[in-house]
Amino acid sequence: MKILVVGGGGREHALAWKLRRDTPGARLFCAPGNAGTATLGENLPIAADDLDRLLDWAQREKPDLTVVGPEAPLCAGLADRFRDAGLTVFGPGAKAAQLEGSKRFAKEVMLAAGVPTAASEVFTDAAAAIARVRRGPGPYVVKADGLAAGKGVTICATALEAECAIDAALNRRAFGDAGRTVLVEEFLDGEEASILALVDGERVVPLASSQDHKRAFDGNRGPNTGGMGAYSPAPVVREDVWPIIRARILEPTLAELRRRGVEYRGVLYAGLMFTADGPKVLEFNCRFGDPETQALLPRWDGDLGAALMACAEGRLDSSSIRWRPEACVTVVMAAGGYPGAYRKGDEIRGLDEAARATGAIVFHAGTEMRDGKVVTAGGRVLNVTALGADIREARDRAYAAVARIRFADAHWRTDIADRALRPNLPWETKSL
């Protein structure tokens, strides 16, 4: 069996790790992969957004299953092109992927489906957007409409902060074409959680809950990042909430897409805010979350490849997806300066020692091999992950492994999963 994983981050290393464990005899390829995936299979020198070369390789090599990790190639239509060529691919087509590719489109779908979400207005003109926030009331959330690598959302306590965010997106083009349109949303007060579900076109099977940490620094301070850590399960997602999530959010969204003639096959990721009025959707993503996947897959008790194949082929069976009772915590070790400018090429030491720590798994994100050494090659460098009997034990084991790893100017948050252990802490969206 041949399996191709498209992408080169921590999410893709976690996917490759789980696929290798479940299907040890498979030939595993990663495009482009990283220093971690290179130990599990063959890295291909093809960028995740190079659709032509990916398709050319796949038509020659005919993988039995392709798993697309990042959102950009999905939004660009990679899954469509593979399916048109008769290849089995896990991931939604371009029309369905617009749930992530365009926040405006996602909001239209939610409103049509009656899915609970924040009120918002859409702007392409900075002056009009600024006039809106000056009318109040705040706080505000300003979102770039398109893909911005997890950094296009700004939470603004005041009208002045909102004006700066609008100016950055619409006038200074901080997010390029992704910020040509912005949404100004009401601020939702509550606690966040990530709900990922497998969808095979008809059936939807939610996965275990998780919670991400977006802000760069301890205490939920600093700019948004692609994610500085995650844990699973998330205590805020109680058992009695799952039927509400399915009936009010997941199923109506998919039904509205079908009404529009759009089939969804892949992961549907709902970023939820648990408010006093119940869960509301902050955003949809069209792929496995990063770093949520790194906290979910070590808990997955079953064959990931078989589940993804069944999902891609429209025969998903919920009985094939089971969860280990342990909790899991992942801590992102980032390069100095991230999410701003950062240096590359620094040697990473201590990886073997960290991997020997009890319960620990080190997923590579921004790494590469150079002259026989593992060096930094991205902003989020490593996802240091651990299982434990509960969140506290998993967290302690993850940080014990972090302590064994060294590279220049490394930084990480020291409070990942604190919210689960100290429920009275304010959630980060309250830390304006």
Q: What is the pLDDT of residue 426?
A: 54
Note down pLDDT in tens along the chain; length 432 residues. Answer: 999 999 999 999 999 999 999 999 999 999 999 999 999 999 999 999 999 999 999 999 999 999 999 999 999 999 999 999 999 999 999 999 999 999 999 999 999 999 999 999 999 999 999 999 999 888 999 999 999 877 788 889 999 999 999 999 999 999 999 999 999 999 999 999 999 999 999 999 999 999 999 999 999 888 889 999 999 999 999 999 999 999 999 999 999 999 999 999 999 999 999 999 999 999 999 999 999 999 999 999 999 999 999 999 999 998 889 999 999 999 999 999 999 999 999 999 999 999 999 999 999 999 999 999 999 999 999 999 999 999 999 999 999 999 999 999 999 999 999 989 986 655 554 433
Q: Residue 21 belongs to what domain range?
A: 2-93
User: Residue 111: inside a domain, yes or no?
Assistant: no
Return the amino acid letter for 69. G
Q: Is 209 within 8 Å of 238 (Cβ atoms)?
A: no
Q: Is 232 helix (H, G, I), strand (E, B) or coil?
A: strand
Element (H, E) at 306: helix 304-312
Pair (53, 173) in one structural domain? no
Pair (161, 300) in one structural domain? no
φ, ψ for residue 233, nearest 5 deg: -80, 165
Return the amino acid letter for 231. Y
Pair (360, 268) in one structural domain? yes
The domain boundary, picked from 145, 161, 180, lies at 180
As a whole number of angstroms, the distance between CA 350 and CA 38 comes to 18
The closest alpha carbon to 202, from 242, 241, 240, 251, belongs to 251
Q: Is 396 helix (H, G, I), strand (E, B) or coil?
A: helix
Q: What is the pLDDT of residue 264?
A: 97
User: Residue 115: inside a domain, yes or no?
Assistant: no
Residue 203: C-alpha distances to residues 4, 70, 254 (Å)? 24, 23, 10
Tokens 């910020």 belong to which residue? Answer: 179
Pair (225, 347) in one structural domain? yes
Assess whether the previous peptide bond of 45 is cis (omega < 30° from 0).
no
Where do the H-state alpha helices sit in 85-193? Answer: 94-101, 103-113, 126-135, 159-166
User: Residue 109: inside a domain, yes or no?
Assistant: no
Q: What is the pLDDT of residue 15?
A: 98
User: Residue 237: inside a domain, yes or no?
Assistant: yes
Q: What is the pLDDT of residue 25?
A: 93
φ, ψ for residue 134, nearest 5 deg: -70, -20
Tokens 């959010």 belong to which residue? Answer: 249
User: Residue 416: inside a domain, yes or no?
Assistant: yes
The domain boundary, picked from 93, 111, 139, lies at 93
End-to-end CA distance of the chain: 50
The domain boundary, picked from 180, 205, 226, lies at 180
Query: At 416, which CATH number?
Result: 3.30.470.20
Q: Is 151 helix (H, G, I), strand (E, B) or coil?
A: coil
Q: What is the pLDDT of residue 149?
A: 77
Pair (166, 228) in one structural domain? no
As a whole number of angstroms, the distance between CA 223 and CA 290 comes to 17
As a whole number of angstroms, the distance between CA 230 and CA 234 comes to 9
What does the DSSP 8-state code read for residue 426? P
Pair (289, 385) in one structural domain? yes
User: Residue 102: inside a domain, yes or no?
Assistant: no
**pTM for the structure as a whole:** 0.94
Query: At 86, which CATH number?
Result: 3.40.50.20
Q: How many domains, the chain?
A: 3
Q: Which tokens hold the place of 168? A: 């950055």
Pair (71, 129) in one structural domain? no
Query: At 144, which CATH number?
Result: 3.30.1490.20
Pair (404, 423) in one structural domain? yes
User: Residue 401: inside a domain, yes or no?
Assistant: yes
Q: What is the pLDDT of residue 359?
A: 94
Pair (301, 408) in one structural domain? yes
Pair (176, 233) in one structural domain? no
How many residues comprise the chain?
Answer: 432
Pair (335, 385) in one structural domain? yes
Assess whether the previous peptide bond of 70 is cis (omega < 30° from 0).
no
Pair (329, 220) in one structural domain? yes
User: Residue 186: inside a domain, yes or no?
Assistant: no
